[in-house]
Amino acid sequence: MSRNIYWCAAVAALLGNPLNVFAADDNGLQDIRDQIQQLQQSVAAQAQAVTQQPIRSSAGPSSENSFNPAVSMILSGTYGQLKQDPVVPATGFAMNANNTGYTRGFSLKESELSIAANIDPQFRGVGTFSLDPAGGISVENGFVQTSALGNGLNLKFGRFFSGLGYINEQHSHVWDFVDQPLVYRALWDNQYADDGLQLKWLAPTDMFVEVGGEIGRGLGFPGTDQNKNGAGAGVLFAHIGDDIGIEQSWRAGASLHQTRRVDAVSVAVPDLAGTVSGVSNSFTGDSQTAGLDFVWKYSHNGNIRERYLKVQGEYFRRKESGMLTYNLDTSVAPPPGTNIAGNYANTQSGWYLQSVYQFMPTWRTGLRYDRLDPGTASVGASIAANVISDYSFNPSRLTWMADYNPSEFTRIRLQLAHDNSRQGLADNQLFVQYIMSLGAHGAHQY
Amino acid sequence: MKKILYTFLLLLSGNVHAALNIFACEPEWAALTQQLAGNQASIYTATGALQDPHQVQARPSLIAKARNAQLVVCTGAELEIGWMPVVLRESVNSAIQPGSLGNFEAAKYVSMLEVPTRLDRADGDVHAAGNPHIQTDARNFLPVAEALSKRLIQLDPANTAFYQQQLATFSQQWHTAIAKWEKQAAPLKGVSIVVQHKGFPYLNDWLGLKEVAELEPKPGMEPSAAYLGSVLSDLQQHPAKMVIRAAYQNGRPSEWIAERAHIPAVIVPFSVGGTPQATDLFTMFDDTIQRLLAGLK
């Protein structure tokens, strides 16, 4: 293109050059005519060359197929071998969530379909749908995130995993173990998600400092998805993180969660009388949780392709206080000894510490220790003879895993655990798991 | 009191008009930006030459640095797809999002090699836009420098004359250096080589090297002992003069082949800082060519 311009400039210069106009003799004129003819031929040739150049077609498809979002699918399954029945909850945590997700024998685990794209210059949308092996599809995540709010602000709305803790936001296909730590299972029903809003602010500092707040309906445990106006649950969190040299990086965080639990029913709760198969209790009261988390990663020369070491831990402490209705019976004529209400307050806590070491490319091994403390409850006089206040037992578990990752999209894992979370029911667990992802798989978080 | 207030405000305002805050994804772009922007830029490099740029985590420090950046300079062509999209999203910096003035992809300004005819993960870790390791051909730095300089001028028009001067100086020095390198590398024309990872098509294209085998069975896959064995027997039919790898790669596969095929294992810096001699763009190519020539002997 620029050569064309030079040629045009040359022609213009020659034609415009006053000296040529004054060439008097015929020879000179003929020379000039020859020159002009040559120039004309060159220009014509140039023009032809330009038109003969293949025009890079930048026209995209004009069908409704354009602007396809990133679609990806996670396929995963396990083989499980468990000595004890997973249906029994951790001792002291019968009024918590107990969805282990374990199955004995071969089982397809949830398949996850994820669709993400920019909606317009200001918003980006992500939908993650969980396909239950037993049938049914649920919305695990369905949220919209702002892209251009400015001033370090990031707004998310819809259904999303809360920013509390460290691994709460990580989808199950990136977990380092087949299951979540005991504290997550018991206190957050594995992973806390809510329908609501999240606002995060990233400080303009050299060190990573982020603070955020969420309000939502209180969809996930310990929330009780109430029929009420306004917010049912709130979260506050703060994260800081930085590098140490080129080989180490870390992130630390603190979080707070608050919700009101209304008519939260738990079944099969053991009582002081030793009722066979336990009783159903209902709790209404406030729930406040505080948590601390940290993660530290090390890699020689910062090259995580070769080897890396990751150590992380989280601690959560939950205070609940309100009214407990012992031995719930909703039948028309409940017999005596049922529906006895009384004050109930308890502080439960739990923590885990885990480490994953990639000792050579594609091979990793990990070790995790879990511990829970059911606390000693303050039980009102009316129910003190029935409701267990002190279990005198701290559930714990030790888990080891090794996984093979031939590519970023394939993971095959062997996991062994010695589970002491149920008093007198020491369990040995073995899992073999595969996790594969296909499609446009986006980048993962830290 | 006023003095304290003004000092406080100055500290808060940070770099109001001083240097451009630049976030470079890889050291070669940091080095190029340094050449073109001199002291008008405060440059942060996200990765080191000893890190595999395909596998980097979107860690907190990268997000914090990107938050304050006015320009990100990366290779593009999906080289950083494993981490940059998260860094850019979490940084909530609208100035550096893809498509905006503050987002510079070097690969857009060079002719890409090895553009795949089909996109299938069965082919390994392929990049749709072509092989992203454009920095191994010194000639590629010229169109990238020109485009980067234009971008710097767009972002900081007050210093246009300075940037133009820097570009002119760099171009002149680089042209001279390319001529020198091509002369030095004349013995390398037509030399057969084995590569550990398909990271060298631009180097081969420039210096006339012939790649006869790769140690990775498919791009991104770790070489297995069985595969290395088959490469070794192939080499008996089609011998090579040396096996080359980037400084960030694990030496074991290369050394295995080198020992059994009786050829030298050569490490090339691949980026600025990959070897102690490769301290800037010029010495990076000086060292690359020296090491390749040493491998010939």
> What is the tens place of the pLDDT at every residue in B16-63?
456 899 999 999 999 999 999 998 899 999 999 999 998 899 999 999
Nearest by CB to B61, from A249, A406, A445: name it: A249
Q: Taking CB atoms and an 8 Å cut-off, how many pairs form between chains A and B? A: 117
Q: Is A148 on the interface with B (CB under 8 A)?
A: yes
Same domain, residue pair B247 and B269:
yes
Q: Do B154 and B122 form a contact (C-beta atoms < 8 A)?
A: no
- What contacts 24+ positions apart, CB below 8 Å, involve B200-205? B200/B133, B200/B136, B200/B244, B201/B113, B201/B114, B201/B131, B201/B133, B202/B113, B202/B131, B202/B133, B202/B134, B202/B135, B202/B136, B202/B137, B202/B140, B203/B136, B203/B137, B203/B268, B203/B288, B205/B113, B205/B137
Residue A56 has pLDDT above 60, yes or no: no
Q: Give dist(CA A220, CA A140) in Å, integer.
A: 11
Same domain, residue pair B36 and B121:
yes
pLDDT higher for A342 or B222?
Answer: A342
Interface of A with B in 94-113 (CB under 8 A): none
Residue A1 has pLDDT above 80, yes or no: no
Nearest by CB to B97, from A147, A203, A408: name it: A147
Q: Are strands A105-108 and A70-82 parallel, antiparallel or unpaired?
A: antiparallel
Same domain, residue pair B84 and B193:
no
Same domain, residue pair B265 and B169:
no
Confidence band of A55 (pLDDT split at 50, 70, 90):
very low
Q: Give dist(CA A36, CA A49) in Å, integer.
A: 20
Of B130, B146, B178, which closes a domain?
A: B178
Q: Is B206 on the interface with A (CB under 8 A)?
A: no
Q: Across all residues in chain A, what is the average pLDDT?
A: 89
Closest CA to A243 of A302, A202, A308: A302
**DSSP-derived secondary structure letter, A132:** -
Residues of A within 8 A of B91 (CB-CB) are: 202
Tokens standing for A332?
């028309």
Confidence band of A22 (pLDDT split at 50, 70, 90):
very low
Tokens standing for B147?
């485009």
**What pLDDT is stored for residue B119 in this prediction?**
84
The distance of Cα A364 from the centroid of its chain, to the nearest Å, equals: 21
Query: Can you name the CATH fold of A71-439?
Result: Porin (2.40.160)
A28-62 burial string, b = 16+ CB within 10 Å, else e? eeeeeeeeeeeeeeeeeeeeeeeeeeeeeeeeeee
Q: Is B264 on the interface with A (CB under 8 A)?
A: no
Residue-wise pLDDT tens digits, B101-149: 999 999 999 999 999 988 888 888 788 899 999 999 999 999 999 999 9
Domain extent listing, chain A: 2-51, 71-439
Cβ distance B63 to A124 less than 8 Å, yes or no, reads: no
Same domain, residue pair B113 and B63:
yes
Interface of B with A in 75-114 (CB under 8 A): 81-86, 89-92, 94, 97
Distance from CA of B51 to the nearest CA of A (A): 4
Q: Give dist(CA B66, CA B58) in Å, integer.
A: 11
Other Cβ atoms less than 10 A from the Cβ of A262: the count is 18
Other Cβ atoms less than 10 A from the Cβ of A85: the count is 11
Same domain, residue pair B220 and B264:
yes
- For B225, the domain range is 187-296
Distance from CA of A243 to the nearest CA of B (A): 6
Q: Across all residues in chain B, what is the average pLDDT?
A: 91
Asked if the peptide bond before residue A121 counts as cis, ω within 30 degrees of 0, the response is: no
Nearest by CB to A246, from B48, B68, B121: name it: B48
Q: Is A68 on the interface with B (CB under 8 A)?
A: no
Q: Is B14 on the interface with A (CB under 8 A)?
A: yes
Task: Determine the 3-state secondary structure of A131 from DSSP.
Answer: strand
What is the CATH number for B118? 3.40.50.1980
3-state helix/strand/coil string of A7-32 = HHHHHHHHHHCHHHHCCCCHHHHHHH
Residues of B within 8 A of A361 (CB-CB) are: 222, 250
**What pLDDT is stored for residue B127 in this prediction?**
86
**What pLDDT is stored for residue B15 in this prediction?**
43
Cβ distance B61 to A207 less than 8 Å, yes or no, reads: yes
Nearest by CB to A362, from B86, B124, B222: name it: B222
- How far are the Cα atoms of A32, A123, A315, B287, B293 from residue B276, in angstroms, in the given order? 63, 45, 44, 9, 18
Interface of B with A in 114-133 (CB under 8 A): 121, 124-125
DSSP string, A79-95: EEEESS-TTSPPTT-TT
Tell me the sheet residues that pair with A78.
Answer: A107, A433
Residues of A within 8 A of B51 (CB-CB) are: 246, 301-304
Mean of the pLDDT values across residues A188-214? 96
Tokens standing for A367?
């070790």
Of B154, B178, B202, which closes a domain?
A: B178
Interface of A with B in 311-330 (CB under 8 A): none
Q: Give dist(CA A256, CA A253) in Å, integer.
A: 10
Residue-wise pLDDT tens digits, A2-21: 555 555 544 555 554 544 44
Task: Determine the 3-state secondary structure of A233 from DSSP.
Answer: strand
| H or E, element range at A101 | none
Same domain, residue pair B162 and B229:
no
Domain count, chain B: 2
Of B138, B160, B178, which closes a domain?
A: B178
Same domain, residue pair B41 and B171:
yes
